[in-house]
Each structure stands twice: as structure tokens, then as C-alpha cells.
Structure 1
């Protein structure tokens, strides 16, 4: 009889998927190349798959664009217009919104594409549940934020405008300047990455626990078997909730990037 039929419970193991190679073993594609530097585990393969799907989505939708969109082009343009109107232009205005739309749209669609595998059977995990890709997106947003401020004010004036609050007593600057620097240039990118990663890591663990508990209770074949009905309903309900989180986290991430760019463009307006 298999372990599942015996009704044995197995807690989720983070070691192999979330900390690959930490033990020095690289049991994955290209794991023996350059000490695992180019190894492709399940997370990386899902990232590659979703990147290809995202590229195909836009390539097919915009392969022959018409002035009056129809069919699949209409779907693609609907999503692009959502990002343009409800994120970029709402926060930055029409001129700056169009200027920074490529970065904001790329961020939004990259996040949502990497979130979707969390609820796809067979994939069952978002690549954003591991910190690497959220860091890459946060760095992109951070560079865009810095670029926007430096381009408008110059490096020195942008830094001063970002950390120095005018009309404060001189002694307070000793306290306020480090706090403003930490808040603006350190906490912003760190919280962007951690928020995205933590939401999908927590969601993944909750789903694993709920489905594992369903399996455990179901095969008890006694009074506890009825509990499996509760846990499977909870698992399905949480999966539906994850569908909302998939979109919401992409929206929040792109929105915050736009907000940080806006703050950089008006750094002298404390």
C-alpha cells in the first residue's frame, strides 16, 4: 500500500525547491555544468515556459495590428489599455504615463504571467514564490525610479530633494535625513520584492497543507474521513482566492512602481 493510501501526512519541504543547491547537490537540468550555475530546476523551467507563453500572447495578438481592433488583438489591447489608463496615466498623467508605460506594462504582465502557475494543475507553484524574480522586478522598478529623478533634477539635486525636508530645524536633519534615505532608497525596493514573494510563498504552503490534509483525513477510513470534505472545500475556496491575488499582486506591484516614479519626478515637492 502506498504512503498516501496509508494516510500518512507529509509536511511541505522547502529545501529542494526554494533553496536549490544549498546542500551542494544539483539534481536538475545542467546541474553538472559550472557547479550548477546554469542549472534549471522546476521553478526556472516554469519561468521559461511562462515567458514563452507571454511573448507568444503579444506576438500573435499584435502580429497584424489594425486601426480598429478585432478578435484576439482586441483582447491584447484591452489589457494594454487597462495598464495604460488605470495605472500609468492615473498616477503619472498622460505625458509621463506614456513615457514610462513600457516599464510599467512589462512589470505588470511579467508579474501576472509568473503568478498564474500557482493555480495551474501540474505546475502548482508561482515562480514568484522564490525571491529571485521578485528581486529582478524590484531592481527594474528601482532603476526606473532613480532614472526618472536624476533625469529631471540631476543626481545631486535629486538626492537632496529626496532626503532633505525643507523648513525643518537644523538639528532634526540629523535624524530625518537617514530615515528618509532608508525609506526612499532601501525600503522601497526591498518591500516590493518581499511583498510579492511572501504572498505566493504563503499561498503555496497553505494549498499544500490543505490538499495534504485532505489526503491524510480521507484515507483514515474512520470518523476523521468526513473532515476531508471540509479541507477539500477550503482548498478549492483558497484556490479561487489565489486567482484574485494573482491579478491583485500584479496590479499593486505595477502601481507602486508608477507611484515611486511619480515621487521621483516631484522629489522637490515635499
Structure 2
């Protein structure tokens, strides 16, 4: 069923006093500074949270390591543990001892930037993951795409295109089929899935929480008996496990996004290894 048809059904239900579920359009809040939007791209809540994430990450880690004591404080220990997790799990284990060090700043930034922007969806008041919208997810994936593609051409020159599109050891007749597929897979589909995986999971979790909250509010506000009110409270209580499930997915998606970034970079570095 198409979007306009769903909107019409929801509007009819609302006019008849029925439940009107939240729609995707309701996740797109009005611009904070609409006068900055001559082309319809004003300064909105998403952009504000991107800036807030940069400020928070910078301040938290700067504050945690400000003393750099030999016997670390709790904050310094947590900051060093977070750095060590990215360094070892996403850096050294994926890129190898020889190549991982120059890429730790990028992997650290990617992981915590995505993590903080995801966790905004679990904070009352903010209550919206930045990457539940396609624009920020596309932008992040585009930055990573340009990085590993540029690295590949820097290390291997024009040969990088052949290494990424022509499988070795394949009979020549099959190359007519496999080469276009490899090109689409590596250069087109890879950045799309990198972004859409993050966006789809964040949007789905956000919609589920919105649906549970609006459904509970509708049932409780109806005042048509204790049964409806009790059901509304049950829906509200049932949304608590969903909230923690979404919290887990926020962390997991930040890890997956950064891990794939490391894998793509490793693929560019060792493109001629096979």
C-alpha cells in the first residue's frame, strides 16, 4: 500500500476518533532556523545533534585524559579502555600490525561519532537518532567510500580498478558477467548498504518506540473504562524491553559501521594480495 493511501486511512481513523499511528513524516521535525533554508535545507534538529555529538565527544575525552596519571582515574581508565577497544578490535585485528596505526584516529572518530548520534535516540528530550534519517547516513558512508577508494588508487594506481572488478582465476567468458557484477558490488552497492543498514535499523527502532508511546497515550486518554487504561499501561510497560533492545542495536550498529570501515580500508590496502 502506498504512502498517500496509508496517510488517508490514518486521517480517516483520526476523524472517527480512532488511533492514528505515527508516520515517518513525523520524525522529520520543523527546522530550528527556517530562514536558513532557501532550498528547503534549513538548520534542523538533526544538524544540531551532529554538532552536539562533536562537542560531547571532544569534551568527554579531553576531560577524561586531562591529567594522564600513571595510576589512572576512573574517567581516564574508561577513556583508555574505549580507545583500546577501537585500537585492538577494529584496528589491529582487521588491518594488521603493519598497517593499523595511521587509521586509528579515523576508526575511533567513526565509531564514537555514530555511537553518540545513535544514543541520542534513547535520551528523553532529544529522543531521535541522527542516523534515522537518510541524509546523515549517506554522508557518513560517502566519506568512508571516498577514503577507501582514494586509498586504493593511491596504493595501486589504475590497477586498483582491475583488482576490484576482475576476479582472478576465472575463465574469460565468465568475466563478461562477473566484471560488471563486481563493479556494482564494490563501487555502488557497498556504500549504499553501508548507509542504509544503519539508517534502516535506527529508523525502525525509532518508529517502534514512537508507535508504542502513541498507542499507550491513546488508550489511556480514551477514558472508556479501566480495561483500556490497563491495556495502555501494559503497552507502556511492554515498550521498556523494546527501549533496551533499541539501545543494544544503537551500540551494535555503531560497531558494525566502524568495523565495515576497517574492512573496506583493509581491502584497499591488500587488494593485490590474492
**TM-score, length of structure 1 as denominator length:** 0.87
Shift in Å, 1:250 = 0.6
- The alignment of Structure 1 onto Structure 2 pairs a total of residues equal to 256
Structure 1 counterpart of 2:54: 51
- Separation in structure 2 between the aligned mates of residue 179 and residue 38 of structure 1, nearest angstrom: 35
Which residue, 243, 260, 265 being the options, matches 1:261? 265
Structure with the greater relative contact order (CA < 8 A, sep ≥ 6): 1 or 2? 1
Shift in Å, 1:116 = 0.7
Shift in Å, 1:34 = 5.5
Structure 1 counterpart of 2:10: none
1:1-270 alignment runs, 5 A limit: 9-15=19-25, 17-18=27-28, 28-33=31-36, 35=38, 39-154=42-157, 156-220=158-222, 221-222=224-225, 223-270=227-274
The DSSP-based 3-state class of the residue aligned with 1:35 is coil
- Separation in structure 1 between the aligned mates of residue 26 and residue 220 of structure 2, nearest angstrom: 27
- Report the CA distance shift for 1:230/1:16 in structure 2 as closer, same or farther (over 3 A): closer
- Separation in structure 1 between the aligned mates of residue 213 and residue 99 of structure 2, nearest angstrom: 46
- Separation in structure 1 between the aligned mates of residue 26 and residue 205 of structure 2, nearest angstrom: 18
- Separation in structure 1 between the aligned mates of residue 37 and residue 135 of structure 2, nearest angstrom: 19
Shift in Å, 1:17 = 4.2
Asked if the contact 2:217/2:232 (under 8 Å) is kept, the reply is: yes
- Separation in structure 1 between the aligned mates of residue 40 and residue 210 of structure 2, nearest angstrom: 29
Asked if the contact 2:137/2:195 (under 8 Å) is kept, the reply is: yes
- Report the CA distance shift for 1:174/1:133 in structure 2 as closer, same or farther (over 3 A): same
The DSSP-based 3-state class of the residue aligned with 1:165 is coil
- Report the CA distance shift for 1:132/1:238 in structure 2 as closer, same or farther (over 3 A): same
- Structure 2, unpaired ranges of 5+: 1-16
- Separation in structure 2 between the aligned mates of residue 69 and residue 217 of structure 1, nearest angstrom: 51
- Separation in structure 2 between the aligned mates of residue 264 and residue 93 of structure 1, nearest angstrom: 13
- Separation in structure 2 between the aligned mates of residue 179 and residue 269 of structure 1, nearest angstrom: 21
Shift in Å, 1:132 = 1.7
Shift in Å, 1:68 = 4.6
1:84-113 Cα shifts (integer Å, max 9, x gaps): 111111111123121211111111011001
The DSSP-based 3-state class of the residue aligned with 2:72 is coil
- Separation in structure 2 between the aligned mates of residue 10 and residue 117 of structure 1, nearest angstrom: 25
